[in-house]
Structure 1
């Protein structure tokens, strides 16, 4: 019984199963095999790190916005109005702050 280990009989394993590959045998292009857009950025089961997800989002921000997205950036109360609801208090405050910022910028540009 001295030949038995906690993981099974030592005679079951081949020598290659117990050794690590040399670093010279590993290919350096191993991590560059993926196809572009092969990851769904919103996939919760994706095993990418938070840093990689943040970098992907920064790249996506550079893309052009649709007309609806551009309108939503101009008026934060628009989604609620489109659905026939009263805008939330936060959306109203955001709209007021945005209007104040635009007025301030117009005054600075006139000077």
Structure 2
């Protein structure tokens, strides 16, 4: 297909091609690279607060008991789904098994 607008140079990809050279990326965002109690850390107060609240939420989720799978539907006045009912049944069976083993 030929175009009558512009020259052929306009449509060449020459300088628009991405390089195939894979330069090593700068290592950023390393795990544990920031400490919440480090006074020399240059993060803003808002970032420190967000990090601390995120850590608190993660810790809370680890220590919380398993939730009732039927609760969300019931709290909205709906009948729980079949999957939620099966999850509740499995949870009850597992709790009964642990009680028999003496773990709970």
Classify the TM-score, shorter chain. Answer: 0.3 to 0.5
Between 1 and 2, higher relative CO (CA 8 Å, sep ≥ 6) is seen in 2
**TM-score in terms of structure 2 length:** 0.42
**TM-score in terms of structure 1 length:** 0.40
- Structure number having the greater helix percentage: 1
